[in-house]
Structure 1
Amino acid sequence: MECRGCCNWLKNHESLCSVLFTLFLGQIISFTLATTSFAASYLATRGVDAPVTQSFFTYLGLTSIYGSIMLFRRKKLLVPWYYYALLAFVDVQGNFLCIKAFQYTSITSVTLFDCWTIVWVMILTWVFLGTRYNVWQYIGAATCVVGLCFALLSDARIGGGGGSRPLFGDFLVTVATLFYALSNVGEEFCVKQKDIVEVISMLGVFGMLVSICQITLFERHNLEAIEWSTDIILVFAGFAVGTCLFYSLLPLILKLSGATLFNLSILTSDMWAVIIRILFYHEEVNWLYYVSFAIVVMGLVIYCKTENKSEPIKIDVDGHSSIQYEVLGEESLESRDGSFRP
């Protein structure tokens, strides 16, 4: 009996340590999201309009780190390359639109409207992956939408949201979340192949190639117009380091805790954004934003309190093999995950 009691005590404390460690990682990611958002916002205030270039250095870092590991392994890809090319394309567009939004709206609005990704992910997983949600999950998602409407109302008021064209900026973020959702669902599928290093490295490689093409076609003149200085270069570097850290830590925390605790943890990134806006920009935050944030938190808690599982389905990858893919309702919350959300 004493031995069994000791074993139970050790298991309970081990579980507690694991939860605390996961929460710690969640706060690191949360703070990383807020700081990268601040970096993007700071560059926008300095007149730097080069969103694709900012993302390029992120993909370059991922390629350098994880691509080197892939070359050392010399293994064949578990997922065809064109899947990764499509995944990287939508990921780049999501980053482009989200960073572009900082030219028009505030850091608080960008971080809050990023929650739209959850709604898009629910729709996409329901249509393409056959995931079914229960009534409480729909109620939770609907509550989040109501909260986002309050944020939209805040930005519609004079001086409420900050930025030159806050409503247009909110629109850009909303469209960006659709691309993020497409990226999330695709990455969720690819991660099921059990090789996270391959997913991150290929996302980096093809993301870098797509970014080079877009920079060459659309962003050359913007780069020439930038008045480069030490602080701008340092912010570019900090942005790249922060987003690379985000991409690297994300799979670890999802493996340790799942998407539920992850999404609850990164909710604090919105409050970090409020602190940054008050301390660095000396701006007042409209009271409707706090109401909006509280409603979104309540909606996410309602959603996360339920768990919905569906039967495994087979997906044909390359015409020769099929993959056993199990969709979990909890995992469909991978909303602010495999893509950068500044």
Structure 2
Amino acid sequence: MTFLATEVTKRLGIRLPILAGGLMWLSDADYVAAAAHAGGMGFITAASFPEDDQLIAEIARARDLCGGLPFGVNVSMLPKLVPGEKTEDIFRLIADQGVSVIETSGRNPEPYIPLLKDLGLTIIHKVPAVRFAVKAQSVGVDMVTIVGAECGGHPGMDMIGSFVNAAMAGEDISIPFLIGGGIGHGSQIIAALAMGASGVVMGTRLLVSDELNAHSDYKQAIVNATERDTVLTMHTVRNTVRTLANETTQAVAKMEADNPNVTIADLMPLVSGKIGRNAYATGDVSKGLLSAGHALGLTKAIKPMAEIYAQLEAEATAALVRLKSVQTE
């Protein structure tokens, strides 16, 4: 039985309007299967599996673990993650493996829309502001995710909060849209739906799930952190990122403050994704840009994904009851 039937739940064939967004180095078959069995939908990050045979194997593993439940693949179209000349090949590979839903991000998807439509893929394009969602809608994507300034990872340059994004999108977007950024409580799901969204996307809130293949010390650090423990860096190179505050963020902030003309090449020894990947493997969170958003304030314990989703559903149900209590005849 569907809880909160929306365009997202109906089109994707899921019970809850909660998507587990793609997380670099972390979104694998175990992650998406846990989300699927919990009632939502997750996305394998294609860039985490740079060789074709690795991605094919991971999709096959996800299919087995999901047991017929839907999952998708995240494709970052940033050249530094998926080289431009390979992006079309990645899309074809995903479709060939029987996946029907993709989460795209990084740049305007317009050049790829004809191919994606021909491949029969449902396109959920992720953007950091409503103005980009309007553009994505105009070029033919099926759904858009709008992530606010509170999100972990890349909130864009506009830094508009999720609450404002949701209200604006309710006015400007006619295709189904989802809200991300700082989402980690069931009451926020109800608020997003009330403003016109068809669902939400979560990342930070799910970093404490048992099924996430990261060191237990990393997960405990996420539990211990609060909403005040994130930092924005890399604004000077127009690649703003919100991450867990640590030695690396201090060093990057100093480089940016000391040299307004700093380049991404200058920062790379500190911000390389390989450094962050090491933190997930070792549990040492002192180094690397480790994406985390304001939903850190809602990560209270390490739990199975199913329990996290069940808690979100219970919170959403309680929020609906509160709404009904203030309604008048």
- Does TM, normalized by the shorter one, top 0.5? no
Q: With CA pairs under 8 Å and 6+ residues apart, which has the higher RCO, 1 or 2?
A: 1
From the two aligned structures, give the one with the greater strand fraction: 2
From the two aligned structures, give the one with the greater helix fraction: 1
- Using the size of structure 2 for normalisation, the TM-score is 0.24
> Which of the pair has more CA radius of gyration?
1
- Using the size of structure 1 for normalisation, the TM-score is 0.24
